Every structure is written in C-alpha cells, then in structure tokens.
Amino acid sequence: MTLKQLVDALDAQVVKGDIIAAFDKFAADSCVTLSSPTDKTQSKAQKVEALNWFFNNIAATNRIERLAVKVGKTTTDSQFVFDFTDKSGNRLVFNEVIRRAWKGDKIVEEQYLMNQTIESEKPAAAAAVAGKKTTAKKSAEPVADKKPAAKSAKTTAKADDLVLIEGIGTKIAELLNAAGITTFAVLADTKPAAIKAILEAAGKRYQMHDPATWPKQAALARDGKTAELAKLQDQLKAGRK
C-alpha cells in the first residue's frame, strides 16, 4: 500500500470511532506519541492504556470527521474534529491535527497538534490563479463596489485572555480555546467537571490542575469586578483555595 492508502485506511477507521483498534493495528510496538515535549507515551501499549482510560469515561461519540489530509514522503498530517459526550453529560469538542511519522506500513511517532489546521496545496494554487484573473479585472471594477470589510468584521472579534485567571497558563488557555471556551463569559458558564474532562483528555501534564474556581474567577472578570477578582486570587495558589 502507498502512504496515502495507509493513512486513508487508518483515518477511515478513526472516523468510524474505532480509534483504539486503529492505533493498535497501524502503530509500531515502539511508537512514541506526544501532545507536548513533556506529555509523552513511549510505546503502543502505553498509548492503548491511555486511550482505554479516556474512552471508559465517554458515553457517546457525536461526531468524528477528517477535514483534510496531507501526505509527505514519510509523514502524514490528518486534520480532525472530535465531538464526544462524557459520562457526566459534558460535551468535549477538539480540533486537532494528528501528525504521523511512518516507517514502512507502521507509525513510529504520532503528534497531537491542538487547534491547528492543514493548508491544502491545491486550493492555494487555485487561489493564486484566481488572483491573476481578478488582477486583470481590477481596473474595470469601481472601487466603491468593493466591500472587503463586511467579512472581516466578524473575524476581528477578540477572545478574552484566559491567562488572567489564576491557574490557567498559556497551554491550558490554548486547550480551552480549542474546546470553544474563548471568553470569560463562556468559561463562567462552564461547569468545573467539563473543564476537568478537557484537561484529563489532554494528558497527564494537565490532569493535576483543579479548575474548581475558574468559572467564579471568570464571572468576576466578565463583570469587570477587578477588585473582587484580585482579592479572590490572593487567596488562591495555582487556582486552588
């Protein structure tokens, strides 16, 4: 099988929700997986154990979709959206690129890149061609007819800096953003159990964090109660009382 055929076969099994069996089938026994340099598994057996732990806490798989794929000489990138419901009724949504290094027909390394996307080469080439076509017409188009600001108005909305919450660092803020928690208002309305599920799904590095006070802190930040927030944070250590 070609590398494209291998990754397509693997991802087809992942999309069906058969993630553990897919990894077990395609990964080498010595396969290393990592979400960050300090959050690793060193073998297929370790990763399968971690996957079993995760899915033992999942009640339903709502959606798994591969959005894009990119194939190199010995590596592949697959972009997925994962949508689960855990046994506490919390929704867990992840946007993730899985980068795999292959040796023959086996994966020897798998990286999980949260909240990243794959740029397809073909659309980029098409865009370049389209750019040349529109350039030729530029002088014929009245400047007043162009409305570039209409689309950008929505995309310029800024997310809140969640790092202002005691206990949240840059990496955890990225995890929360990837799960759709981008503002103090959303964080304030999110149950600690749902936040904890996001942290646990991200690996051992994040499982030690306790988000019990994060929604309360976020509510104060949302409401502009900076003095009350500062007073509360003075009583906390790493977000804990």
Residues 110 and 26 in one domain: yes
Last residue of a domain, one of 80, 98, 114: 114
pLDDT tens for the chain, residues 1 to 241: 899 999 999 999 999 999 999 999 999 999 999 877 667 889 999 999 989 988 998 999 999 999 999 999 999 999 999 999 988 888 888 888 999 999 999 999 999 988 788 874 444 343 344 444 444 444 344 434 444 444 333 333 468 899 899 989 888 988 898 888 989 999 999 988 889 888 888 887 788 888 899 999 999 999 989 889 989 888 886 556 6
Residue 101 domain-assigned (yes or no): yes
Residue 225 domain-assigned (yes or no): yes
Q: Coil, strand, or helix at residue 183?
A: coil
Residues 108 and 170 in one domain: no
| Closest-CA residue to 107 (of 75, 134, 77, 133) | 75
Q: Residue 101: which residues within 8 A CB-CB, separation 6 or more?
A: 74, 75, 107, 108, 109, 110
Q: Hunting for tokens 């795999």 — which residue is that?
A: 100
Residue 85, both tokens: 């419901």
Residues 168 and 110 in one domain: no
pLDDT of amino acid 158: 67
How many domains, in total, are found in the chain?
2
Q: Three-state secondary structure along 129-158?
A: HHHHHHHHHHHHCCHHHCCCHHHHHHHCCC
Residues 200 and 110 in one domain: no
Residues 176 and 90 in one domain: no
Range of the domain at 59: 3-114
Residue 14 domain-assigned (yes or no): yes
Last residue of a domain, one of 58, 80, 114: 114
Residue 28 domain-assigned (yes or no): yes
